[in-house]
Structure 1
Amino acid sequence: MSLLSWLRAPAPTLSDALKQRLARLPVPAPWRDCSLREQRWVVLDLETSGLNVNRDQVLSIGAVVIDDGAIDFAQQFERTLHRPAQKTTSSVLIHGLGPSALAAGCDPAEALLDLLEFIGDSPLLAFHAPFDQRMLARALKDSLGHRLQHPFLDVAELAPMLNPDTVLREAGLDDWITRFGLHVQERHHASADAQVTAELMLILLSQARRQQLDSPLQLEQQLSAWRRRMAHHPSL
């Protein structure tokens, strides 16, 4: 699908109840100058049918909350989406999502609206965030006609920025899990991956505070500057 046809795709038909819930959603907050501990963060992980952001689909969603400097186990989100037409491929099976699980999943519009209500006005964190951001944006447009406006921070960029002495070129989540000795019981499952990403983020938030970066706004600004340096000097 071309970008032009995507932009012109017809809006989905929604029930009045869904429209009312969409209308009640809070406006996402800009980067705040509060302390990192005061900020509520939502750590997101999506399992998808593949890596093509224009063609593949979101199959399941996992999210956890970091609040008051800790993972809040009372605030967790998990949904498998109803995708009965999804072909069973190796990319799908690695997530443990067989045909029966996808056939029994939640209506995508309901699940995605549940997610937006769970997120509220909080910023989002993800490992390799640009992929999750684009996949979520397309899913929201396709199922709800809704435009994603929440800011994202990429944990895959924060980790090397805050650990310049750690040489891990193009490191994946497993590399940073090993680097910090985190214990993982399960991988390639949305909720489990969101959980371990949140545990990694707690380490990074502690490092950020020790480096005099103690607000979401400061962290985002430092990351933007680091990204520009890496673009001009990739060997650093």
Structure 2
Amino acid sequence: MIKNLIKYLQKKSLKDKSFLYLFDEPPKGEYICLDCETTGLKPRKDEILSIGAVLIKDNKIIFRKNFNIFVKPSSNVNVESIKIHQIRPIDLENASEPKIAILKLLEFIGARPIVGYYIKFDIAMISKYTKKYIGIKIPNESIEVSSMYYKTKKRSSEYEFVDLKFDTIMKELNIPELGKHDALNDAIMTSMIFLKLKDKTPAKTTFYTN
């Protein structure tokens, strides 16, 4: 009931009714896995620099259906953040304006659930822009792969530590690394994690309503 109320209020706050498709029934067996590269880890002040996303359909990664875009920041990227995300000023010379990038992303996602690694951060970053451009946070349900992985681990007690680092999960699940950690590659690798875990925790997949 609370979920329906939230959706009702979001629909009322939507500035442009052409985005009502975000509230449609999602296509069965389809998900969007995405990753964002950002200037920092604070959604309120930091900005998105690139977004990578890929379609998962019927337990397959549809590589030809991918989304990969650089987003123009409001100011020059500082040297310290370049060390983290590896995105250089030259990479951003032909970057898209934020509004264009975000609206294209929404069209790519549609009503599908969004899969990711620490996806709440990516959702918070994207929602900062969607709130500005269409009046609401992104309404799609989201699935956290680290939570799925956590639920597969047998522990002797509820206090036992479980390493949830991305590289650890990849190694434990015997998933090959694609090389460069950019937004699209990370989205594809996260898709592999999701598909590997999906059948292990079919009734335990963690959904979040944003």
| 2:184 equivalent among 154, 168, 191 | 191
Q: Does 1:219 align with 2:205?
A: yes
Q: CA RMSD in A?
A: 2.7
Q: Does 1:205 align with 2:191?
A: no
Q: Does 1:51 align with 2:51?
A: no
* Higher Cα radius of gyration: 1
Instruction: Say if 1:123 and 1:152, in contact at 8 Å, map to a contact too.
Output: yes
Instruction: Say if 1:48 and 1:60, in contact at 8 Å, map to a contact too.
Output: yes
Once the 2 structures are TM-superposed, how far is the Cα of residue 51 of structure 1 from its aligned partner? 0.7
Q: Does 1:69 align with 2:69?
A: no
Once the 2 structures are TM-superposed, how far is the Cα of residue 189 of structure 1 from its aligned partner? 0.6
Q: Does 1:27 align with 2:22?
A: yes
Instruction: Say if 1:124 and 1:153, in contact at 8 Å, map to a contact too.
Output: yes
- Distance change >3 Å, CA 196–CA 111, structure 1 → 2: same
Instruction: Say if 1:48 and 1:58, in contact at 8 Å, map to a contact too.
Output: yes
Q: Please show how residues 1-236 of structure 1 align to structure 2 within 5 Å.
A: 23-29=18-24, 38-83=28-73, 85-165=75-155, 169-209=162-202, 213=203, 219-220=205-206
The one-letter amino acid paired with 1:41 is Y
Instruction: Say if 2:72 and 2:96, in contact at 8 Å, map to a contact too.
Output: yes
- Distance change >3 Å, CA 130–CA 54, structure 1 → 2: same
- Which structure has the highest strand share of the two? 2
Describe the superposition over 1:130-181 as per-residue Cα deviations: whole angstroms up to 9, x where unpaired: 1111111112223554431111111111111133359763411111011112
Instruction: Say if 1:45 and 1:126, in contact at 8 Å, map to a contact too.
Output: yes
Show structure 1 runs of 4+ deviating over 6 A: none
- Distance change >3 Å, CA 206–CA 69, structure 1 → 2: same
Instruction: Say if 1:168 and 1:175, in contact at 8 Å, map to a contact too.
Output: no
| Count of equivalent residues | 192
The one-letter amino acid paired with 1:139 is Y
Query: SS of the counterpart of 1:207?
Result: coil
TM-score (norm 2): 0.80
- Distance change >3 Å, CA 29–CA 164, structure 1 → 2: farther
Please give the alpha-carbon distance, in whole angstroms, between the structure 1 residues aligned to 2:195 and 2:32: 12
- Distance change >3 Å, CA 170–CA 205, structure 1 → 2: same
